[in-house]
Amino acid sequence: MKRHNSRNIKSSLVAYSFIAPSFIMLLCFGLIPLAFSLFVSLTDWNYTKGFGNWDFIWLDNFINLWKDEWFLASVKNTLVYTVVTVPITILLSLGIAAMIQDYCNAHFSGTIRIAMYMPRICNIVASSAVWMALFSSYGPFSQAMRSLGWKNPPHWLADETWALPSLMLVAVWMSLGYRIFIYSASLQSIPDDLYEAADIDGATRTQKFWNITVPMLRPTTFFLTITGIIGSFKSFGTVNVMTQGGPGYSTYTLVYYIYKTAFSYYRMGYASAVAMILFVMLLFVTLVQWRHNNHKGA
């Protein structure tokens, strides 16, 4: 009996030793910073005055947020950015992955996927600089509009109406290749027996796509939707390089507003309050999507 207990204890220690590094990393870089951010959000800390030099104002930061037009504009822009870019990217990547799977030669399909994945690994500053040139007054977008009869096309990144859609286009381009890669891997894992049975029943290509491919890819779509929403809520690089939130606050996103509030205006407590709002929004979206996916799976 004692030998059996000692063997169980040893097995447990081995198991805990394997998960300990991950747990320590989660604790140090996840839970502790989250708790500290929540603590700071209840203060008026200006970090230039030193660590610990803060006064508790409790919920004042959270109350003042909803009177702040810059914060409200950031929330609106982030939601619009997410609602537009995530579905478009999911649909395009699924369609392109399916076409590569069905119509491309096996020798060239890998090359095509790698080519479409390249924007994912390109430096975001370099990519943003290239897109700034493309959106310039003498860039191909403006020239194309002039050739189509639009005499005075807008200055895309300097126009309040067109700046955010321009950033959305860049976001779709950057994230498309990664999702195509994931969908391509999932498509190859679908059993051929399902398609063969559908062929025997006389199903068309469209029917097989909607009744076999799409349902079988539901877990992948769930994963890409969640990561896409989180990624779009964290949009910062292209905004910082291409527009700096302008013109006005037309391209301010929540993460960019957190950055400006913390490191330009030194209001770390207020920025932490915005960060906590962002955390709650992402947690809510994830839980709703997870519950919906489980319900459909059942």
pLDDT at 154: 86
Which tokens in the block code for residue 214?
């799409």
**Averaged over 199-219, what is the pLDDT?**
89
What is the tens place of the pLDDT at every residue in 146-163?
888 888 888 899 999 999
Q: Distance (Å, rounded) from C-alpha 222 to C-alpha 46?
A: 40
Q: What is the mean pLDDT of residues 18-34?
A: 91
For residue 43, the cross-strand partners are 56
Supply 7's token pair: 């063997």
Cα torsion through 46, 52, 55, 59, rounded to 10: 80
* Tokens at 262, concatenated: 């913390």
Give the largest Cα separation in the chain, rounded: 89
pTM here is 0.88
Structure tokens at 269: 């407590």
* pLDDT value at residue 293: 66
Could you give all domains of the chain from N- to C-terminal order, each with its CATH number? Answer: 66-297 (1.10.3720.10)
- What pLDDT score does 74 carry? 96
- Residues with Cβ within 8 Å of 89's Cβ and at least 6 positions away in sequence, in order, are 171, 172, 175, 176, 179, 228
